[in-house]
C-alpha cells in the first residue's frame, strides 16, 4: 500500500534544501566574517582615506580592479570566496563519503538528483547572501562617498555569483566521483588547476624551448576560463572587456551541464563506494596521470633549462623527467589509494604517464615536429600581417567596438597587413634570417647576436591557410636593420600613423615644444590652420625614411604633440577634465562614454620636427612660429657635468665621464646609474668641442634602438663655487649623436661598449 | 510484501548475496539471522534502496526500490551503525524526517519523546550508544513506515527499554500491520519476538520458517544405545544436522518432526529416548554445522 499522500519532488527538495542550509549555516557564518574582513572592511578603510585626500584636493589611487571597487586585500577575498564555496559544498555533500551517513541519506525517500540539487541550491543560497552583503555594503558606501556606477556593480556581483555557482557545480561533481571528502577536495582543486597549470607548462615550454611559438597571455587567459576559481580574479586584474554577459551565460550553461552530469553519475554511483579507496575509477587515474606527467615534464624541463641540451644532456634530461614522472605518480597514487603498491593496473597507467612525458620531450627535441623551422614558400603567400609598432609602438589607440565602447589597443598589437610583393619579401627574408640564426648548421655565435627581439608574423597563403609564428629570440644585426625597412613602408605608415588614419577633425588641439624645452605652448588655430598643419605633418610622416634620417643625422628642432579627443571618464562615465580632483577613470581600458563620429582615438602621438620636415616647417613658418623651426647650439657652457652614453633603449646601465666633484649632490644619482669619472673636469677645449656637438634637448627621430646616443649635462655656472655655497646650479641637458660626438668621447665610449660585449661599427 | 528474486549483490569479486529468493508477507516480524558476512546487512540496505542490486530484483509491494520514492516512503531503515547529522538533536532530526516522510506522525513523536528517558533537545553526539538507539527508534516509529528494517536494533538497549521497544513495535504491527525485519545475532531475543525467521549464510538463504513450524520441523532427542554398537555412522542422514556423544548418551538434532525422528531413531533400538526443547540458537548452530560452519573448523 502506497502512502496516501506522496511528497512531490518539489516538497522533498525544499525539505532537503532547508536541512542542507542548516548543516552549512555555521561554517557559512565564519566564511562570511572572513569575506567581510577581506573586502568591505578594507574598502571602507580605503574610502575613508580617499575622502580625506579628496578633501585636501588630492587624487587618490588606492583602489584596484574593475571600477576601482576592490582593494589590495580583495586578492584574499576571492580566495576566501573560492574556499567558502568548496568547503560548504564539501560539508553539504559529505554524507556521500561516510558509510554511516549513506545508510541514512540514501535510504530516505528522496531521489538522489533532488538531494544533490538541494545541496547545490543551499550552497548557492549561502554564497549569494554572503556575496550580496559584501557588495551591498560597498554599493551603499559608494553611494554616499565616491560613487561606483550601479549597474556595473550589480554586474560584478552577478559575475562573482555565477562563477561561485560554477565552482559549486564542480565541487558537487567531484563529491559524486570521489569516495572520500579528501579526494573530493583534491579533485575540486585539480579540476580548477589542471588546465591553467598545463597551459602554463606549455607556455613555458614554448617560450623557453620552441622558437616561433611564444604563447602570450591571451592563451593563458583563455585557459584560465576553464578554471572558475582563476576567473574570479578576472576583474581584479582589469581584464573586464573580455568578460562579457556572454561569459555569464556560458558559465551558467556549464554549471547546468555539470550538475546534470553529476546527477546522472550520482544515480549510478554505488553507495558502497563511500569511504572506500577504489581507485580504478577513471577520475582517479586521470588526476594521478595529469599530476605525474605535468610534474615530471616540469622538473625535466627545469633541468634542461639549467644544464642545456645536447646528446648526453638530452638523454639525462629525459631520464630525470621520467624519474620525476614515476616518483610523482607513485606519490599521488599512494595518496589516492592509501597504499604504496600501485598494483598491476597502476603500473600500466604509470607506463602511460611515462609515454606522455616522453611525447612531450619528443615534441621539444624535434622543434615541435619541424614546425619551429617551417617557412612558407614566398610564392604561396597572399599577404602578411606583422605585429610591430615601430615608431608608433608607444601610441595608445582606442578602437570603437560594436557596442559603442572603446577597446584599448597598444601600438602594433593588432598588426599591420602587408600585401605588396616587395613588402612580403622583406618580412619573409627576416623570417628566414631568424630561422637561420638558431638552426644548427648556421647557428650564430654568441657575439653575433645583438639583441633579443619579438618577431610576430602571420602569413595568409593562397590556399587560405594561415601560418602564424611568434619569435622572441636573439637575432643578428641584419634583422635589426630590416626592421627599419618596415618603418619605411608606406603601407605600414598608412596603417599605423594616426595622422595618416584620422582626419584633422578628430584632433582636439596641438601642443608644441622647441628643441630646448624652453618654449611650450598650446597652439590656438582656426579650423583651416589646424588642417594645414595636420596635413603637413601627415605628408612629412609619409616622406620621412630611415635613409633621410641617417643622411641628415636628424635631431629635433621641435616636438609637436597631437592631442586627439579623449574619452577618459570617471567612475560614473563622466568625462574628466585634466585637473579633476576626482578619482580618475576606472581604467583607461574601459569606458562608458560613447563619442560619436570618431573612428579611432589616440593618445601619446608626437611628431618630431627636423630639418627634413619640409612641409611642417613651411606650415609653422606660415603660422608665424619660426622660433620652432630653428635650433641653436648651447651657449655659455662653463662645465660639462656628465655625459651619458649608451645604445638607446639598452637595458644596461649607462657609463659616464663625470666632471663634477660629486654629481650625486646634484640630485641625479637616483635617476640614472652614474659612475665617477677618474679624469676630473673636462678641459675647456673639450667642453667647447662638446658644446659644438650638441644638437637638441630632445632626441631625434633618427635615434633608433641600439644606436648610441649621448646625453650631455652641463652648467653655465661655476659648479665648484655653487657647491661651496650649497646651492645647486641649473643643469641643462642636451643630446649628442654618436656621429656628431668628438673623437675623445667616441674613444671612451668604445672602451665601455667593447667591455660590455657590444659590436659597434 | 518484500520480495527478492535471484537477487545478487557483488562487492569486488565477492558475492555478498547470491541468487537470493525471499518473500516476506505484510504484518510479519521477520528475524534475519546468519553468520558474519552472510549478507544480512546487504539485504537490508538493498531493501531500503541504499544499494542497487547487481542481479535479480528487490521489490516492495511489487515495485523496485532503488530511486523509487513511492517504494522508499514505505520503508525505514535503522542501521547497526547509527548516524545523526553533526550537532543535531532528536528534535532537529525530526524536522528532516517530517519534511521527507509523508506518514510522519507528530503526535506519536511527541508521545514517544515524552515516554523515553532522553532529552529530545540535547545534542545526539552526547548520547550513549543505547540512547542513540532509542533516538533512532523514536524517529523510525514516528515516520510510521510500512516496513521497518532494524539492523541489530536492540544492541546497547538496557533490558527495560528493550522490552518497551519490543512492545511498541508489536503494537505497531498489530495496529498498522507494519512489517518488521530484524537482523540480529541475539537469537534468544528473536525467538521470543519474531514470527518468522530466515537463516543466511554466504549470501544464500539456508532456511526460512515461521516460529510455529520451527518445532514441527526440528527435533532434538537424547538417546541411549547399546555401547557396543557403532551407531554413530549409522546416524548419517540428510536430515540429521548433528550428533553428539557423551558417554552412552547421543544427542541428535535433526530437521524433522518428533514423529519422524522417533521413527528414524527407533531403528537403532534405543534403550532410552527423550525429546529436549530446541532453541533457535540450536537450530542455527546445527544448520551451520550441517554445512560445515562449526566450531571444530574454526577453533584449532
Domains of chain B in sequence order = 2-212 (3.40.50.300), 216-298 (3.30.70)
Calculate mean pLDDT across residues B192-213: 84
Q: Does A18 touch chain B (CB under 8 A)?
A: yes
Q: What is the structure's pLDDT at B239?
A: 77
Cβ distance B74 to A5 less than 8 Å, yes or no, reads no
Distances (CA, A) of A670 to A597, A676, A709, B67: 46, 14, 21, 75
Interchain CB distance below 8 Å, B73 and A109: yes
DSSP-assigned states of every residue in A643-675: EEEEETT--SPPEEEE-SS-GGGGT-TTTS---
Q: Which residue of B has its CA nearest to A272?
A: B51
Residues of chain A found within 8 Å of residue B73, distances taken between Cβ atoms: 2-3, 6-7, 109
| The dihedral sign for the CA sequence A69, A72, A78, A83 | negative
Domain end point (choices A582, A606, A628): A628
Q: Among A334, A367, A400, which residue terminates a domain?
A: A367
Q: Per the domain annotation, does A219 fall within a domain?
A: no
Interchain CB distance below 8 Å, A104 and B73:
no
- B102, pLDDT greater than 70: yes
- Chain B residue with CA closest to A5: the answer is B102
- Please list every residue in chain B whose beta carbon sits closer than 8 Å to the beta carbon of residue A14: 99
CA-based torsion, A333, A338, A341, A346: positive or negative: negative
Q: A195 lies in a domain? A: no
Non-local (6+) Cβ contacts of A23 within 8 A are A91, A92, A122, B85, B86
Same domain, residue pair A250 and A170: yes
Record the cell numbers describing residue A121, joined without a space.
541550491
Residues B103-106: contacts with CB under 8 Å, at least 24 apart: B103/A3, B103/B73, B103/B143, B103/B144, B103/B145, B104/B142, B104/B143, B104/B144, B105/B142, B105/B143, B105/B144, B106/B142
Tell me the chain A residues in contact with residue B103 when contact means C-beta distances shorter than 8 Å. 3
Instruction: Find residues 97-116 of chain A whose CB sits inside 8 Å of chain B.
Output: 98-104, 106-112
A373 closest CA partner among A471, A305, A506:
A471
Sheet of A451-461: strand order equals: A416-418, A381-387, A451-461, A466-475
Residue A580 is predicted with a pLDDT of 32
Helix/strand/coil (H, E, C) string of B117-153? CCCCCCEHHHCCHHHHHHHHHHHHHHCCCCEEEEECC
* Cα B57 to Cα B36: distance, rounded to the nearest angstrom: 24
Residue A562 shares a structural domain with residue A624: yes
Range of the domain at A256: 9-180+225-275
**Predicted local distance difference test score (pLDDT) of residue A436:** 84
Residue with cell 523496485: B64
**Side-chain half-sphere CA neighbours of A262 within 13 A:** 28
Question: Which residue numbers of B have CB closer than 8 Å to A's CBs?
Answer: 11, 45, 48-52, 61, 67, 69-70, 72-77, 79, 81-83, 85-87, 92, 95-96, 98-103, 146
Residues 6+ apart with CB under 8 A from A663: A641, A642, A656, A669, A674
Look-up of cell digits 566450531: B295
Which of A628, A649, A665 is the C-terminal boundary of a domain?
A: A628
Chain A residues in contact with B77 by the CB 8 A cut-off are: 103, 107
Indicate the number of domains in chain A: 5
Q: Do B96 and A11 touch (CB under 8 A)?
A: no
Q: Which residues pair with B196 in a beta bridge?
A: B30, B210
Same-domain check for residues A150 and A248: yes
Shortest distance between the Cα of A184 and any Cα of chain B, in A, equals 19
- For residue B99, the chain A residues in CB contact (below 8 A) are 7, 11-12, 14-16, 18-19
- Taking alpha carbons only, the member of A289, A109, A402, A418 closest to residue B145 is A109
Rounded to the nearest 10 degrees, what angle do helices A181-209 and A311-337 cross at?
Answer: 170
Based on the fold, state whether residues A137 and A263 are members of the same structural domain.
Answer: yes
Which residue in B has a C-alpha nearest to residue A104's C-alpha? B83
The verdict on residue A436 lying in a domain is yes
CA atoms of A232 and A243, how far apart (whole Å) = 11
Among candidates A108, A110, A272 on the partner chain, residue whose Cβ is nearest the Cβ of B51: A272
Interchain CB contact of A52 with B (< 8 Å): no
Percent of chain B with pLDDT over 70: 93
Q: Does A718 lie in the same domain as A655?
A: yes
Best residue of B10, B15, B102 to probe chain A, by most A CBs closer than 10 Å: B102
pLDDT at B243: 81
DSSP state of A380: G
Cα dist from A693 to A685, A686, A709, A734, A736, whole Å: 13, 11, 12, 10, 6
| Among A residues 239-268, those touching chain B with beta carbons less than 8 Å apart | 267
Q: Coil, helix or strand for A511?
A: strand
Number of inter-chain CB pairs under 8 A, A vs B: 96
How far is residue A330's CA from residue A38's CA, in Å, rounded to a whole number? 39
Inform me whether the C-beta atom of residue A25 falls under 8 Å from chain B C-beta atoms. no
Let me know if residue A189 belongs to a domain.
no
Cβ within 8 Å of residue A267, ≥6 positions away: A111, A112, A113, B67
> Same domain for A26 and A161?
yes
User: Cα–Cα distance between A715 and A732 in angstroms, integer?
Assistant: 6
* CB contact A599 to B (< 8 Å): no
A5 touches chain B (CB under 8 A): yes
Say how far residue A731 (Cα) sits from the centre of its chain: 37
Binary contact (B79, A103; C-beta < 8 A): yes
Residue B69 distance to chain A (closest CA, Å): 5
Claim to verify: residue A616 and residue A711 sit in the same structural domain: no
Give A610's Cβ-side CA count (13 Å radius). 27
- Angstrom distance (rounded) from CA A256 to CA A251: 8
Shortest Cα distance from B70 to chain A (angstroms)?
7
Which helix or strand (DSSP H or E) is residue A460 part of? strand A451-461
Interface test with B, best of A103, A181, A267 (most B CBs within 10 A): A103
Region B159-169: mean pLDDT is 90
C-alpha cell at A201: 607548462
Same domain, yes or no, for A710 and A660? yes
B146 and A1 within 8 Å at the Cβ level: the answer is yes
Q: Please check whether residues A347 and A423 belong to one and the same domain.
A: no
**Interface test with chain A among B76, B96, B136, B150, by most A beta carbons within 10 Å:** B96
Buried b (16+ CB within 10 A) or exposed e, B111-138: ebbeebebebeeebeebeebbbbbbbbb
Residue A203 lies in a domain: no
Residue A759: per-residue pLDDT: 37
* C-alpha–C-alpha distance, residues B29 and B17, integer Å: 22
**Shortest CA gap A4–chain B (Å):** 8
Whether residue B148 contacts residue B140, with contact meaning beta carbons closer than 8 Å, is answered with yes
Asked whether residue A585 is assigned to any structural domain, the reply reads yes
A7 shares contact with chain B (CB less than 8 Å): yes
pLDDT band at B145 (very low <50, low <70, confident <90, very high): very high
Contact: B102, A19; criterion CB under 8 Å: no
How close B103 comes to chain A (CA, Å)? 7
Cα B154 to Cα B186: distance, rounded to the nearest angstrom: 9
Q: Looking at the structure, do residues A339 and A396 belong to the same domain, yes or no?
A: no
Q: Are residues A342 and A380 in the same domain?
A: no
**Which of the 8 DSSP states describes residue B194?**
-
Residue A199 lies in a domain: no
Q: Which residues of A touch B76 (CB under 8 A)?
A: 107
Q: Average pLDDT for consecutive 10-residue bins of chain A (761 residues)?
A: 65 90 93 95 89 72 76 91 94 90 92 95 97 95 84 89 96 90 84 82 76 69 82 77 80 96 92 71 79 86 75 77 89 79 82 89 79 89 92 75 60 86 94 82 56 85 90 79 88 91 84 76 90 94 80 73 67 38 31 47 79 90 86 69 58 41 43 37 74 72 61 67 53 76 77 47 34
Interface touch A110/B74, C-beta < 8 Å: no
Residues 6+ apart with CB under 8 A from A72: A42, A64
| Closest Cα in chain B, distance from residue A1 (Å) | 7
From the list A4, A7, A22, the residue facing B100 with the nearest CB is: A7
B72 in Cβ contact with A109 (< 8 Å): yes
Beta-carbon neighbour count of residue A723 at 10 Å? 16
- Looking at the complex, does the CB of residue A8 fall below 8 Å from at least one CB of chain B? no
Do A264 and A353 share a domain, yes or no?
no
Residue A307 lies in a domain: yes
| B98 interaction partners in chain A (CB closer than 8 Å) | 15
Q: Which of A107, A110, A112, A118 to mutate to test the interface with B (most CBs of B within 10 A)?
A: A107
Q: CA-CA-CA-CA torsion for A392, A393, A394, A396, nearest 10 degrees?
A: 80
Amino acid at each position: 500500500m502506497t502512502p496516501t499522500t506522496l511528497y512531490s519532488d518539489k516538497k522533498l527538495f525544499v525539505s532537503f534544501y532547508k536541512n542542507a542550509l542548516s548543516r552549512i549555516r555555521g561554517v557559512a557564518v565564519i566564511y562570511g566574517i572572513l569575506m567581510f574582513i577581506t573586502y568591505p572592511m578594507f574598502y571602507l578603510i580605503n574610502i575613508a582615506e580617499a575622502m580625506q585626500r579628496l578633501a585636501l584636493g588630492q587624487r587618490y589611487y588606492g583602489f584596484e580592479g574593475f571600477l576601482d571597487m576592490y582593494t589590495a586585500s580583495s586578492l584574499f577575498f576571492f580566495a576566501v570566496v573560492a574556499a567558502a564555496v568548496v568547503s560548504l559544498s564539501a560539508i553539504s555533500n559529505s554524507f556521500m563519503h561516510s558509510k554511516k551517513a549513506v545508510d541514512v541519506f540514501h535510504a530516505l525517500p528522496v531521489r538522489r538528483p533532488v538531494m544533490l540539487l538541494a545541496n547545490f541550491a543551499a550552497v548557492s543560497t549561502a554564497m549569494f547572501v554572503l556575496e550580496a552583503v559584501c557588495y551591498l555594503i560597498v554599493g551603499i558606501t559608494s553611494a554616499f562617498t565616491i560613487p561606483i556606477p550601479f549597474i556595473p556593480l550589480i554586474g560584478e556581483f552577478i559575475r562573482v555569483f555565477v562563477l561561485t555557482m560554477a565552482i559549486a557545480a564542480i565541487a558537487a561533481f567531484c563529491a559524486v566521483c570521489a569516495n572520500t571528502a579528501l579526494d573530493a577536495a583534491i579533485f575540486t582543486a585539480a579540476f580548477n588547476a589542471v588546465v591553467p597549470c598545463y597551459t602554463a607548462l606549455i607556455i613555458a615550454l614554448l617560450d623557453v624551448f620552441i622558437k616561433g611559438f611564444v604563447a602570450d597571455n591571451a592563451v593563458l587567459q583563455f585557459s584560465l576560463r576553464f578554471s572558475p576559481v582563476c576567473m574570479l580574479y578576472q576583474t581584479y586584474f582589469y581584464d573586464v572587456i573580455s568578460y562579457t554577459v556572454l561569459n555569464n551565460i556560458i558559465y551558467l550553461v556549464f554549471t547546468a551541464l555539470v550538475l546534470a552530469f553529476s546527477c546522472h553519475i550520482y544515480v549510478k554511483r554505488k553507495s558502497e563506494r563511500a569511504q572506500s579507496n577504489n581507485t580504478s575509477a577513471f577520475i582517479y587515474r586521470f588526476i594521478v596521470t595529469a599530476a605525474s606527467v605535468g610534474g615530471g615534464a616540469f622538473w625535466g624541463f627545469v633541468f634542461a633549462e639549467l644544464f642545456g641540451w645536447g646528446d648526453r644532456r638530452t638523454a639525462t634530461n629525459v631520464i630525470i623527467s621520467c624519474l620525476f614522472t614515476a616518483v610523482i605518480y607513485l606519490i599521488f597514487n599512494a595518496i589516492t589509494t592509501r597504499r604504496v603498491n600501485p598494483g598491476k593496473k597502476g603500473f600500466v597507467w604509470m607506463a602511460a604517464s611515462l609515454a606522455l612525458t616522453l611525447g612531450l620531450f619528443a615534441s621539444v627535441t624535434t622543434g615541435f615536429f619541424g614546425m619551429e623551422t617551417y617557412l612558407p614558400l614566398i610564392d604561396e603567400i597572399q599577404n602578411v600581417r606583422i605585429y610591430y609598432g615601430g615608431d608608433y609602438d608607444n601610441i595608445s589607440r582606442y578602437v570603437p567596438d560594436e557596442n559603442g565602447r572603446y577597446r584599448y589597443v597598444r601600438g602594433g598589437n593588432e598588426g599591420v597587413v602587408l600585401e605588396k610583393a616587395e613588402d612580403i619579401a622583406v618580412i619573409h627574408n627576416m623570417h628566414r634570417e631568424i630561422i637561420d640564426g638558431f638552426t644548427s648548421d648556421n647557428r650564430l655565435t654568441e657575439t653575433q647576436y645583438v639583441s633579443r627581439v619579438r618577431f610576430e608574423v602571420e602569413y595568409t597563403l593562397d590556399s587560405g591557410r594561415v601560418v602564424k609564428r611568434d619569435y622572441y629570440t636573439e637575432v643578428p644585426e641584419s634583422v635589426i636593420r630590416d626592421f627599419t625597412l618596415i618603418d619605411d613602408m608606406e603601407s605600414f605608415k598608412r596603417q599605423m600613423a594616426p595622422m595618416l588614419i584620422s582626419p584633422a577633425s578628430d584632433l582636439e588641439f596641438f601642443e608644441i615644444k622647441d628643441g630646448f624645452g624652453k618654449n611650450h605652448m598650446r597652439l590656438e588655430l582656426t579650423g583651416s590652420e589646424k588642417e594645414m598643419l595636420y596635413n603637413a605633418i601627415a605628408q612629412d610622416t609619409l616622406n620621412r625614411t630611415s635613409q633621410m634620417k641617417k643622411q641628415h643625422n636628424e635631431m629635433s628642432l621641435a616636438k609637436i604633440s597631437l592631442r586627439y579627443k579623449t574619452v577618459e571618464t570617471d567612475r560614473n562615465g563622466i568625462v574628466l577634465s585634466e585637473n579633476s580632483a576626482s578619482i580618475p577613470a576606472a581604467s583607461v581600458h574601459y569606458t562608458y562614454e560613447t563619442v560619436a563620429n570618431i573612428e579611432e582615438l589616440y593618445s601619446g602621438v608626437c611628431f618630431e620636427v627636423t630639418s627634413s620636415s619640409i612641409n611642417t616647417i613651411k606650415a609653422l613658418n606660415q603660422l608665424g612660429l619660426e622660433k620652432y623651426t630653428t635650433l641653436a647650439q648651447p651657449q655659455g657652457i662653463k662645465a660639462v657635468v656628465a655625459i651619458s652614453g649608451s645604445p638607446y633603449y639598452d637595458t644596461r646601465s649607462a657609463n659616464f665621464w663625470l666632471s663634477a666633484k660629486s654629481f650625486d649632490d646634484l640630485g641625479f644619482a637616483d635617476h640614472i646609474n652614474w659612475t665617477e669619472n677618474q679624469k676630473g673636469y673636462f678641459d675647456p677645449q673639450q667642453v667647447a668641442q662638446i658644446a659644438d656637438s650638441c644638437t637638441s634637448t630632445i632626441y631625434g627621430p633618427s635615434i633608433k634602438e641600439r644606436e648610441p646616443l649621448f646625453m650631455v649635462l652641463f652648467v653655465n655656472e661655476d659648479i665648484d663655487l655653487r657647491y661651496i655655497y650649497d646651492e645647486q646650479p641649473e643643469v641643462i641637458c642636451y643630446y649628442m649623436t654618436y656621429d656628431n660626438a668628438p673623437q675623445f668621447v667616441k674613444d671612451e665610449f668604445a672602451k665601455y661598449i667593447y667591455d660590455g660585449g657590444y659590436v659597434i661599427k | 510484501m518484500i520480495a527478492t528474486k535471484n537477487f545478487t549483490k557483488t562487492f569486488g569479486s565477492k558475492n555478498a548475496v547470491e541468487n537470493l529468493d525471499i518473500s516476506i508477507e505484510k504484518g510479519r516480524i521477520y528475524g534475519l539471522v546468519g553468520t558474519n558476512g552472510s549478507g544480512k546487512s546487504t539485504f537490508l540496505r538493498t531493501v531500503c534502496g541504499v544499494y542497487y542490486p547487481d542481479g535479480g530484483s528487490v521489490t516492495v509491494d511489487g515495485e523496485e526500490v532503488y530511486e523509487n520514492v513511492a517504494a522508499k516512503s514505505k520503508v525505514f531503515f535503522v542501521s547497526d551503525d547509527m548516524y545523526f547529522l553533526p550537532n543535531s538533536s532528536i528534535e532537529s532530526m525530526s524536522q528532516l524526517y517530517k519534511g521527507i516522510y509523508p506518514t510522519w506522525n507528530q503526535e506519536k513523536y511527541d508521545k514517544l519523546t515524552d515516554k523515553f528517558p532522553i532529552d529530545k533537545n540535547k545534542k545526539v553526539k552526547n548520547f550513549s550508544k543505547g540512547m542513540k538507539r532509542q533516538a533512532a527508534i523514536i524517529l523510525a516509529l514516528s515516520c510510521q513506515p510500512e516496513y521497518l528494517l532494524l539492523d541489530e536494533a536492540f544492541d546497547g538497549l538496557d533490558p527495560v527499554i528493550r522490552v518497551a521497544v519490543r512492545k511498541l513495535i508489536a503494537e505497531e504491527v498489530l495496529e498498522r500491520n507494519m512489517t518488521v525485519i530484524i537482523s540480529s545475532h541475539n537469537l534468544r531475543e528473536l525467538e521470543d519476538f519474531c514470527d518468522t525467521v530466515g537463516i543466511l549464510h554466504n549470501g544464500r538463504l539456508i532456511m526460512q520458517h515461521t516460529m510455529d513450524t520451527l518445532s514441527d520441523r526440528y527435533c532434538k532427542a537424547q538417546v541411549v544405545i547399546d555401547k557396543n554398537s557403532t551407531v554413530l555412522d549409522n546416524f548419517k542422514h540428510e536430515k540429521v544436522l548433528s550428533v553428539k556423544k557423551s558417554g552412552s548418551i547421543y544427542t541428535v538434532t535433526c530437521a524433522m518432526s518428533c514423529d519422524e525422528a522417533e521413527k528414524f531413531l527407533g531403528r537403532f533400538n534405543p534403550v532410552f529416548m527423550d525429546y529436549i526443547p530446541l532453541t533457535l540458537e540450536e537450530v542455527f548452530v546445527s544448520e551451520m554445522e550441517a554445512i560445515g560452519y562449526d566450531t571444530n573448523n574454526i577453533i584449532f
